[in-house]
Amino acid sequence: MPVSPSRVAAFSILLRVEKERAYASELLHSPRWEELSSADHGLATELVMGVLRWRSVLDRQIAEFSAQELTRLDVEVLVALRVAAYQMSFLDRIPRRVAVHESVELMKRAKKRSAAAFVNAVLRKFPQQRRQPKPASIQLARTPGELSFASAHPLWLVERWERAFGLAVTQQICEYDQRPPETAVYLDDANVEHELESTGACLARGPLLDSARRVLRGDVSRSRACLEGRTWIQDEGSQLVAHLVGRGERILDSCAAPGGKTRMLARRNPRGEVIAVELHAYRARLLRKLVNNPNVQVMIADARELPVGVDFDRVLIDVPCSGTGTLARNPEIKWRLQPDDLADLRAKQIAILRSGMQRVARGGKLVYSTCSLEEEENVEVVEAALAGAGDFRLLNCSIELERLRSSGEFRWKDVASLVRGPYLRTIPGVHPCDGFFAATLEKT
């Protein structure tokens, strides 16, 4: 019996996430799976993201009915079980027999015929009623342990957030991570807005930025305007970081792919020259494809040893990071990241930041940013790079935010909630966007 294209896609993507440390959102938007019909792509996205968001809850349910320890199961078997368990526990529009049957067929397609009977036996023991955790259980959690259990986040992460932000804010973060985030687009042209609306999209003004719209209805990613690069999907927190970079004539974007911020820098500085550096050749290719602005030059290079002999009046250092501020979009990160990874990331980030600081012209500004909630990757990196760099001073981000507000580019009223000391700090669930950190340094 054929399996539906959406489940084949979900199974294949989840396997690659497990085996190759691939990113689900990148695979979902790869040419292979972009070819799915809109309905199949929608269901594949729901299954992939749902399984990754609720993995620990699903595994507890499967473990209840599996005669074998989950750690002893082949990854194909575990993924097929998770896909079915998610449908049975979380989705009310899919008949139970369809969920079971399709996961059994996935086993046969994966040439695991003997495991097909096992998958069937486990899934048939699942109770008839759905077992989705109640949304309120996250708000009712009284300890990091209860919150980790209810919200499907690793305990170590919840514990460190509770220490950094307190329990109430950690609950808000966890709740935000467990829902599909709203889609935001960068949109600076009223004609493009009308064009999107004329094709059925329903847009609302972004709560943070004048240049942002929320997509309330419609798939803008397949619109001509998006395909031609006249608008693009970009979280408002990410847009805000690019706004902080401001305007200049020579701009360095030192960790640039996939290029959301590069595009904004190019659009907002049409007479400026943007050098976009990316370490990985395949990501640089993606960057070149997405960012076709004539004032952008893409270079494949290591940002720790920048092969540029000139100085820049604006520099963006958007370093590779743990991504803990983006778990609603990239839920696999929470299962992959280990506490020890933070020290390795920090060392790399300090090296990239120090290298970028050497390329700032006198009087020029540098923005260091991450999409991480972790101090090791944020304040600690900035402090380490500034130690001994007497020719740099840390600027207060709230001054730049107020300036953006007076020019009408920034709409959010409560500037104070977005800053911690001199730093920009968006927190998912507290603010309507992913978690970003930014620091602005000026070369004196």
Ligand X SMILES: C[S@@+](CC[C@H](N)C(=O)[O-])C[C@H]1O[C@@H](n2cnc3c(N)ncnc32)[C@H](O)[C@@H]1O
Contact set with ligand X (CB under 6 A): 238, 255-261, 277-280, 283, 302-304, 318, 320, 352
Q: Does residue 371 carry a catalytic annotation?
A: yes
- What is the CA 98 to chain-centroid distance, rounded? 31
* CA-closest candidate to residue 234, choices 279, 22, 41, 243: 243
**Which residues on neighbouring strands pair with residue 395, listed in sequence order?**
440
Omega of the bond leading into 258 within 30 degrees of 0 (cis)? yes
Confirm if 246 and 409 have CB atoms less than 8 A apart.
Answer: no
Nearer to ligand X, 8 or 264 (CB): 264
DSSP 306-362: ----S-EEEEEEE-----GGGTTT-THHHHH--TTHHHHHHHHHHHHHHHHHTTEEE
Q: How far is the CB of 257 from ligand X (least distance, A)?
A: 4
Q: Quick one: 70 or 301, whose CB is closer to ligand X?
A: 301
Which residue, among 21, 89, 98, 100, has the nearest Cα to 58 in the 3D structure? Answer: 89
Yes or no: say if 159 and 209 are a contact pair by the CB < 8 Å rule. no
Q: Which is nearer to ligand X, 40 or 318 (CB)?
A: 318
Q: Which of 255, 371, 397, 433 is catalytic?
A: 371
Q: Which of 176, 156, 180, 175 is nearest to 374 (CA)?
A: 156
* Residue 17 contacts residue 47 (beta carbons within 8 Å): no
State the Cα–Cα distance between residues 130 and 148, nearest whole angstrom.
Answer: 21
Report yes or no: 394 and 441 within 8 Å, Cβ to Cβ. Answer: yes
DSSP 215-231: EEES-GGGSHHHHTTSS
The residue (of 81 and 276) whose beta carbon lies closer to ligand X is 276
The tokens for 94 are 């899919």
Least gap, CB of 323 to ligand X (angstroms): 8
E-state strands within 384-436: 392-395, 419-420, 423-425
Q: Which C-beta is closer to ligand X: that of 9 or that of 257? A: 257
- 15 half-sphere exposure, CB direction, 13 A CA radius: 15
Kindly state the smallest distance separating residue 148's Cβ from ligand X, in Å: 26
Q: Which is nearer to ligand X, 277 or 328 (CB)?
A: 277
Which of 255/360 has CB closer to ligand X?
255
71 to 67, 75, 201: CA distances (angstroms): 12, 9, 45
C-beta of 302: minimal distance to ligand X in Å?
4
Phi, psi torsion values for 411, nearest 5 degrees: -110, -20
Q: How far is the CB of 355 from ligand X (least distance, A)?
A: 9
Closest to ligand X by CB, 26 or 409: 26
- Whole-number Å distance between alpha carbons of 320 and 350: 11
Please state the closest distance from residue 180 (CB atom) to ligand X, in A.
20
CB of 242 vs ligand X, minimal distance in Å: 7
Gyration radius (Cα) of the chain, Å:
23
CB of 244 to ligand X, least distance (A): 13
Catalytic residues: 371
